Amino acid sequence: MSDQAPSGSSAVKDQAHVNPNFEVRRDLLDGVRLFEVKNIVTGNGYTTEVFRPDWGVASLPIQHVIHVSLHGGVVSAWHQHRIQTDHIFVVSGALRVVLYDGRDESPTHAELNVLHVGAVRPTLVVVPPGVWHGVKNLSSSMTSFVNYFDRPYDYENPDEWRLPRDTPEIPYSFDA
């Protein structure tokens, strides 16, 4: 078969997105790390490991953990930390996690990653400081995730920076 579109068609051939071992192919922003976890089927359901230091992907020590629940279809964007690392792990439902590299010195400056993660194929997403991130609940019902950090939240001086969801500073629309 040819890799060319049929005559008179504007069809575009899909690029390979998974290898024969079912590992998703991704070109990630500098410093972003993913670790796909396997669910363990048990006699009464399933168990999922959320974190192990021997995975070697998370910033240590872990100092603060939050659990977030988002209503169906909700978008939470844009958010960045200057010194803190996020570790996002979906517990139920599915999220689109969009990452934008706002670090001037980064080799992936101004590049985007669009990731689809969820409880069906659990993945730990590590977001380094300086990377803008936003999430969209892809489910019609509640989606929840755990986010743990390498430093505790500073109530007096939060390491929290925000841009509006429709900012022209990031070339991505959650509405598209």
- Residues 44-55: tens digit of each pLDDT: 888 888 988 899
Please tell me the predicted confidence (pLDDT) of residue 2: 66
Q: What is the mean pLDDT of residues 85-112?
A: 97
**Res. 128: pLDDT tops 80:** yes
Please tell me the predicted confidence (pLDDT) of residue 81: 97
Task: Please give the helix or strand (H or E) that residue 78 lies within, else none.
Answer: strand 75-80
- Domains, the chain, in order of start with CATH, read 33-46+59-152 (2.60.120.10)
Q: What is the mean pLDDT of residues 152-168?
A: 96
Q: Which long-range contacts (CB under 8 A, 24 or more apart) does 151-155 make?
A: 151/63, 151/64, 151/83, 151/84, 152/63, 152/64, 153/64
Q: What is the mean pLDDT of residues 20-28?
A: 76
Tokens of 101: 């590299």
Please tell me the predicted confidence (pLDDT) of residue 137: 97
Q: What is the mean pLDDT of residues 1-10?
A: 72
pTM score, whole prediction? 0.85
Q: Are 109 and 171 in contact (CB under 8 A)?
A: no
Q: Is the peptide bond before 161 cis (omega within 30 degrees of 0)?
A: no
Please tell me the predicted confidence (pLDDT) of residue 23: 72
Q: Which amino acid would we find at residue 24?
A: V
Please tell me the predicted confidence (pLDDT) of residue 3: 73
93 φ, ψ (degrees, to nearest 5) = 85, -155
Query: What span, in angstroms and rounded, lies between the C-alpha atoms of 119 and 40?
Result: 12
Query: What span, in angstroms and rounded, lies between the C-alpha atoms of 166 and 78?
Result: 9
- Model confidence at 147, in pLDDT bands (50, 70, 90)? very high
Rg (CA), the chain: 18
- Model confidence at 1, in pLDDT bands (50, 70, 90)? low
Q: What is the mean pLDDT of residues 108-122?
A: 95
